[in-house]
Structure 1
Amino acid sequence: MKTILNLYFSTLKVLICSTLVCITVLIFLNVVLRYGFNSGLFFSEEISRLAFVWLVFAGAQLMLHENGHIGVDMLTSRVSPKVAKGMLVLSQVLMLYVTWLFLQGSWKQTLINLHVGAPSTGVSMALFYGAGLVFSVLSFGLITVQLLDSLRKPAGTYTQQISDNPATLAPTQESGVLK
């Protein structure tokens, strides 16, 4: 199971990089064609916007997996391990609730825009709102696994996952320091 997840997130990293390259190439070509040849790619802005939305949600999914989001431990570093574990569990339950709300909203917007075409390309706008659906479903599963892992571990043994990236700074040992 772990190898499947590693393969999924490695593929996601490749897709994020290729999406960035695609957006850059489309916008660059459109600018060159407009100013150099007085023409342009009619679909460039729309495809770039769609790719950017999927890029943001894919990046958010990756950061959720790698715990790459900004964390402030000013309060949790000053309380007992049991209270800190309770706060972690509470935050994960709240994240599940917000993800559920996001899933409901994305589902409604996808259904509303299912037969609405984009102005230039005619591509269904449900593809635009479908990014929220995919993100919500995958994030709900990931947060659930993290919550179960937090509940299973004894208080005081939770350590934040550090990514393999050497540019990532190691957490400080000082209590109350913003990370």
Structure 2
Amino acid sequence: MGRTLKKFMINFEEIFASLFIVTTTTLVMLNVVLRYFFKTGIYWSEEVATGCFVWSVFLGAAAGYKRKAHVGVDMLVSLANDKIKELVTVIVDIILLVINGYITYIAVIYLRLSYTKPTPVLGISSATISSSILVSFSLMSIYSILFLVRDIRHPERSQEVL
């Protein structure tokens, strides 16, 4: 049981993003079939599918950040010596921490504003969907801190994922 829980905790962004994208795909396909063959549809499916898609995108972005899977251009840095690479890595970590932290802060403000706005069909709080931004960038901020600490303590491990 402990091993399964640990594996879940390591991969929870990917697991939930996958569940959200499966839900999105299922709802869209079901609605297409219902509309084509039965001339009816699920009135709330588009709103739920959109919300699930948004959650899958932001959780996927956090997972990609954690796995260092986002595109980066390091052609010039790769030509530099090890000390310069270590310095640039730490500087980039600090910049990304500031950016992710700032977006997290903006997400809190946005969430407070969207909390009172209901969705058009279901009438639930828009914060249900908007909170994906806060969760995602909070995770990326945490990962930025972990990367920064690791790259200062063990610069030789800077290319490893968490």
- How does the TM-score come out when normalised to structure 1? 0.81
State the partner residue of 1:40: 41
Summarize deviations over 1:91-133 as a string: whole Å, max 9, x none.
1111111112211221111111111110011111011211111
1:84-95 to 2 correspondences below 5 Å: 84-95=85-96
5+ residue gaps in structure 2? none
Label 1:6 to 1:85 Cα distance change in 2 as closer, same or farther (>3 A). Answer: farther
Summarize deviations over 1:1-46 as a string: whole Å, max 9, x none.
xx77643233332222222211111001111111211111111111
Cα distance between partner residues in 1 of 2:37 and 2:136: 39
Summarize deviations over 1:139-169 as a string: whole Å, max 9, x none.
1111101100000125xx2452379xxxxxx
Greater fraction of residues in helix: 2
- Mapped pair 1:74 → 2:80: no
Verify the 8 A CA contact 2:116 2:126 in the aligned structure 1.
Answer: yes
Task: Count how many residue pairs are aligned between Structure 1 and Structure 2.
Answer: 159
Letter in 1 for 2:37: G
Letter in 2 for 1:18: L
Summarize deviations over 1:62-114 as a string: whole Å, max 9, x none.
11111111232211111121111111111111111111221122111111111
Cα distance between partner residues in 1 of 2:31 and 2:160: 41
Cα distance between partner residues in 2 of 1:137 and 1:5: 21
State the partner residue of 2:11: 10
- Mapped pair 1:160 → 2:130: no
State the partner residue of 2:149: 148
Verify the 8 A CA contact 1:9 1:62 in the aligned structure 2.
Answer: no
- Mapped pair 1:117 → 2:118: yes
Q: Secondary structure at the match of 2:75?
A: coil
Cα distance between partner residues in 1 of 2:98 and 2:56: 23
Cα distance between partner residues in 2 of 1:116 and 1:162: 38
Computed over aligned residues only, the root mean square deviation of the Cα atoms, in angstroms, reads 2.0
Cα distance between partner residues in 1 of 2:102 and 2:57: 18
